[in-house]
Chains A and B, each alone.
Chain A
Amino acid sequence: MKLKKSNLILLIFFVFFFSSISKSHALSSGEFIRLMTGWTSPDNLKIYENEEFSRKEENFTITNSTMPSECKESSECEGTATATSVSTGASKTITISGTCIKQDKESQYGRCQENKSKSVSIGTEIIGTDFSEEISIIPKLQEGISHYFQPTPLYSNNILSFGSHQLLLSEQDQTSLKIDYLKKANITKNTFETTGEYPLGGVDYNKEIDCNGNIITPIKVWNSLPKNVKSKSQGWYKIYRNDQKNDLTWTQNLFCISPYRTIEEDAFARSSILFGSHLLIDKESIYTDSHVKGTFDASLIDAKLTFPSVTYKKIYNNVKSKFPLIEYLENPTLEAIPSTLIKTSPQNSLGIKEFSAIIDNESAVNNKYHVIGTQIIKEEANAVKDQGFTSNIISSVIESIFKLLNIRTHVITIPGIAGQATELLQQEIYLTQVASTENSNTDVTKLSNSVVGTDGNTLIAGSGGIPGIAKNTISRLLACNSTEYSTFDTSIKDYVSGVRNSCDSEMSLAGSCDGKLFHELYGDELPKISSQAESKIETQIPNITPEALGAYKAAEEKTGVPCEILAGIHWIEGSNNENQDLQEGADLNGRSLVESANNAAEELEGKVGIKKDSKENIESVENLITALSRYNGGGNSNCQGTNSYNCSFANSSRCGYTTACTANSTACTCTNSPDSLSCRVLCQEENGYAFPFKFSYGGTCPSKHEGYDDPYATNLLKPEQDTMYILYRYDCTQTRPIVATRPGAFTFAVGYYNLVSK
C-alpha cells in the first residue's frame, strides 16, 4: 500500500519529534498526539492571513540583469533583472545589487557578484503582518503583543513595534497597573480557594518571579503593599515614591512585577489560535497564541490613555456587547468560573466553546501545561525560534524536508476572544491615528503593528500602527531610575531597538536618524537637492534596515558625526546593506556594523584635522564635503574636465600605465615605472597631465572648495552638479568618463534629513 505524501510527512514528523521529545520542554507525547489529531475549527471566528509562504518564491530564476560585469566598488554593482517563478512562470522586474569581488587586495577592479536574494514576492502583494523572516515551522507564536513589552534580543523579529507601548506610560501609570495586576492575583486566589475553579482572567498568584536574586510571588507582593497603596487611595503614589527613595523592599518587589499578565498566565482563556495547514494533516491543527491576553490588558490601557473617560466607556461597552466574556478577563471573580459562565453565557458566544472545557486547576495554578477539554491545548510559549537548541534543530530539519519536497507552508491567525476584542479596541485608537496620517488607510490589515513591503522583506511602520500612535501621543516620561526610561524625543525605532537615552545622555545604542545633530550643525546651510536625487533617496529609504540605522545612530552618539552622513557614506559604499561595511562595501567579516560605522566616523573627522575622541564636530558643510571627498581619495574631482581633451592614443575606454591595460583591465595597475608605450605615457607626452578623455563638467571651476566637484560627495546636490562624471573606475587608470547616477554621500544625507529625520 502506498503512503500518501501528506501522511508520509506526518509520520516523518511524528517519528522525528518523538526522537527529540525527551529533550524538548514543549509538549509531552500525549499532548503532541492530541495536538496533531482531532482538532476542530472554532466557529464564527475571523481569519487573518498572517503568513503566506506560497506567495514568496524561493525558486526563481534571474535573467536580463543590467548589473555591470566589471567594477571598482560595490556601489557600482547594481541594476535590474527579471525574476521568473519556476513554478508559475510569473515574472517581474526587481532591483538587484552585488558585491565587487576583487582577485586580491592589490587589484583595483573586480567583477560584480550578485548578492543572492532570499526570496522574491512575484505574486500578489502580501498583506497583514508578516513574520516570514523567521521561518519557524514548528508551532509558531505570533508576537502581536510585542509592543507592550520590554525589548529583548529574543524578540527581535518585530523590532519596529517591540516595546513601543512603554512610551505611553509614565512611571505612575506603570505602577498603578502593577497594583491592578496584584489585585487581580488576590481576587484569583480568593476565587480559586472558594470555588475550587480557576477563573477566566485569572492571575497566577503563586508564580515565582526572580527579583534581583530574590524569589517573589504576586500574592506575597500584594500582601506586603501598604493599605493605601492597595486601595490606591489619595496620595498612594507619594507613599510609593517616598518608600522607593528609602529603598523599602515592597517598592523593589513591585518594580519586578509585570504590569500585564504574562505569557505563562494565559491558562486557558483562549487568546488566539494559530491555524495551520502546514503540517499536512487532514484536519487542520490549531495552536494557541498565548501572548494575546496580555495584549488585551494593554489595549484597554491604550484606550484609556487615548480617549476621554466617557468615550472610553462607550468603546468598551461596544466591544463588550460583541464579546461579553471580556468583562471577566479583567475581573477574575466568583462569577468568572467555568461552571457559572457555562450556565450564564449563550452557547454560541464567542470563546465559550473553548472556555467550557474541563480545566485542570492544579496545573493551571502551578503553571504547568494545561489540557483544556479534549480539543484545545495550551502549550508553553517557548516554541519561538531561537528559544532552544532542540527546537531549532527540529525546525531546521523539517524546513529542509519541506524544501526538498517543495512543500509550501501557510499559517494564518485566528484571534480568539481576547484577540478579537483587542482588535476592536485597538481599531478605535488606530482610527484616530489614521485621520492624521498622511498614508491614511482604513484597511484593517494595514492597521496591524507593521506592514510588510511587497518584497516581503521590509517591515514598514507608521501606517496607523502602534509605532505611529505612540509617536504622536507620547506625553509622559519615565523616571531616570526606571529601566524603561527614555527621553522625550526618543524615536520609536530607537526605543524598540533597545536604545535608552539615559539621564546623563551619554549612552545610546541604536535607533534611527533623528536629525537633531544634523540640523544643529548644518541646518542653516543646507541646499535644496535635485528632484532626481530626492526620488532615488526616497526609493532607497525603505531598504535601510533598523539595524543599519541603529549602527549609524550609535556612531553618531559616540563620535559626533551625524547619523545621516554615515547613512550617506554607507549608501555609496555598500547600498546601506547591513552586511557590508562603510569603508569600501566589503563584507563585515565578523565586525559589527556599529564598529564599522564608528571607524568611518572617526576616519571622516580625522580627514579634516579633528582630534580623535574630542567632542568636536565637523562644523561646516564645506568641511564636511571636503572630508567626504578625502574619505574616498578625491580622485574623481570633476574640475579635471577643464583641461580634458581627446588624446589620440586613448583609443579604448582605459588609459593606464601598462600597455596591456588597454586590452586587459586586469593589467591596469598603479606603477611608478610606466611602460614607455602605454596610453598614459603617450598621452602625457602629447598633452601633459590633462585628462585624456574630453568631458564637460557644468559646475564651478576651480572648485569652490576641495570636494565640491567630487561626485562621491556632491553628485546631484545642486543643478550644477546634475551631471558629474566618474573618471577613475580603476585606481591610477583614467577611464572614459561616465555619468554618475547615484546621489553623492552628502546629497544622500541632505535628502535623508529632508525626507525622514527633519
Chain B
Amino acid sequence: MKLTKKQKKLILAIAIGLLAALLVVIFSNKDDQSQPAPQTEYESKFDLTIESPKEEERAIEEKQQLQNQLPIYIENFQTSIGIETAINVFAQSYDPAHVVRLEIYGINYNNSQTTINNPDYIAFQDSVEKAIFEITTLGTNPKNLIFKLSNTPYIHQVASKWIATFAPDIKTE
C-alpha cells in the first residue's frame, strides 16, 4: 500500500502521540512507585496511641515476665450479678509487642451504659478485677501493662470506658 503525504503525516502525528503516551505511562509508574504506601485502615485500626515511649518500654518488659504464663483462661466465672463470664488474658503474635489482651466473654457490650444498674457493666467489673488479681498473683504489675480489650472495635471502646471508671490505673490502648 502506497501512502499519501497526508497519511504519512497522520502516522507521524500518531506515532509522536503514542510515544508521548508511553513516556507518560513509564514515568507515571515510577512516580507511583516512589510514593509511600497509604496508611491502611487495618493498620490504623490497630495502631496504639501510647503516651510516652517509656510506658511502652515498661509494658514490653512487664509483658515479657508474664508471657510464658499466658494465657490466663478462666471459664464459668460467677459474677456477683449472676452473669457467668469467661476471662481470657493472652497475647497474639500480630499485636504490637507491648500489648496484652484482656477479654471478658459473656458480656453484652451493646449495653454500654456505665451504671450500676447495668448488669453487663457489673459483670465486666467483677471479671476484670478477677483478671487483675490473677495477673498480680503471677508477680506482674498490671499497672505497667497496656491492655487491648478486644479486636472488635466497639467492644474495646465500651470496655475501655468501663474500665476507666473502676480501675483508672489500668492502661488500655
Shortest CB distance A587–B (Å): 7
The answer on a CB contact under 8 Å between B22 and A589 is no
Q: Do A606 and B40 touch across chains, with their CB atoms under 8 A apart?
A: no
Residues 618-667 (chain A) with a chain B CB within 8 angstroms: 630, 632-635, 640, 657
A89 contacts which chain B residues (CB < 8 A)?
none
When the two chains form their complex, are residues A586 and B41 in contact, meaning their CB atoms are under 8 A apart?
yes
B42 lies within 8 A of A393 (CB): no
Interface size of A as a range? 35 or more
- What mask results when residues 1 to 22 of chain A are scored 1 for a CB within 8 Å of chain B, else 0? 1010001000110011001100
B151's contact among A20, A603, A671, by CB below 8 Å, is which? A603
- B137 contacts A by Cβ under 8 Å: no
Q: Report chain B residues within 8 Å CB of A590.
A: 37, 40
* Cβ-defined contact, A612 with B90, below 8 A: yes
Q: What string of 1s and 0s marks CB contacts (under 8 Å) between B155-167 and chain A?
A: 1011001100000
Contacts of B25 in A (CB 8 A): 393, 396-397
Interface centre among A586, A589, A608, A672 (most CB of B within 10 A): A672
Task: Say what secondary structure dominates the interface of chain B.
Answer: mixed
| Interchain CB contact under 8 A, B42 and A108 | no
B98-120 interface code vs A (CB 8 A; 1 in, 0 out)? 00010101101111111001111
In the complex, are the beta carbons of A599 and B94 less than 8 A apart?
yes
* Docked pose: A634 CA to B110 CA in angstroms: 10
Known: A607-B88, A613-B93. A583 touches B106 (CB 8 A): no
Instruction: From A599, A603, A732, give the contact of B110 (CB < 8 A).
Output: A732
A19 touching B92, Cβ below 8 Å = no
Of the candidates B6, B21, B71, B162, the one whose C-beta lies within 8 Å of that of A609 is B71
Q: How far is the CA of A670 from the CA of B162 in the complex (A)?
A: 12
Does A673 make an interface contact (CB < 8 A)? yes
Could you tell me the distance between the alpha carbons of A12 and B13 in the complex, rounded to whole angstroms? 10
The reply on B44 being an interface residue by CB < 8 A is yes
Contact B93 A397 (CB under 8 A): no
Q: By the criterion CB–CB under 8 Å, are A612 and B154 in contact?
A: no
Contact status A611-B71, CB under 8 Å? yes
CA A310 to CA B44, docked complex, whole Å:
68
Given known contacts A670-B154, A706-B105, A728-B110, A591 and B119 CB-to-CB distance under 8 angstroms: no
Could you say which residues of chain B place their CB within 8 Å of the CB of A731? 110, 153-154
- The A contact surface, by secondary structure, is loop
Chain B neighbourhood of A586, CB < 8 A: 41-42
- Taking a contact as CB atoms closer than 8 A, the residue among A397, A599, A673 that contacts B22 in the complex is A397
Interface centre among A3, A612, A728 (most CB of B within 10 A): A612
Tell me, in angstroms, the Cα distance from A611 to B92 when the chains sit together: 9
What's the Cα separation between A349 and B157 when bound, in Å? 78
Fill in one digit per residue for B27-60: 1 if any A CB lies within 8 Å of its CB, else 0.
0000000000100111111000000000000000
Q: Of the candidates A581, A598, A674, which one forms a contact with B42 in the assembled complex, judged by CB atoms under 8 Å apart? A: A581
Chain B residues with Cβ under 8 A from A314's Cβ?
none
In the complex, A307 has a CB within 8 A of chain B: no
Evaluate contact between A635 and B110: CB separation under 8 angstroms: yes
B154 near A634: Cβ-Cβ < 8 Å:
no
Closest beta carbon of chain A to B109's beta carbon, Å: 7
Q: How far is the CA of A131 from the CA of B150 in the complex (A)?
A: 44
| Most chain B beta-carbon neighbours within 10 Å: one of A11, A598, A674 | A11
9 contacting pairs across A/B (C-beta < 8 A): A7-B1, A15-B18, A16-B15, A397-B22, A586-B41, A612-B91, A633-B154, A633-B155, A671-B112
Q: A607-B105, A732-B154 are in contact. List 16 more A-B contacts (CB 8 A).
A: A7-B1, A11-B14, A397-B22, A598-B94, A606-B88, A606-B101, A611-B70, A611-B90, A633-B109, A635-B109, A640-B108, A657-B112, A670-B158, A706-B106, A731-B153, A732-B111
Counting from the closest, the 8 A-B pairs by CB-CB distance are A609-B73, A589-B40, A731-B154, A672-B114, A15-B15, A633-B152, A670-B112, A672-B161
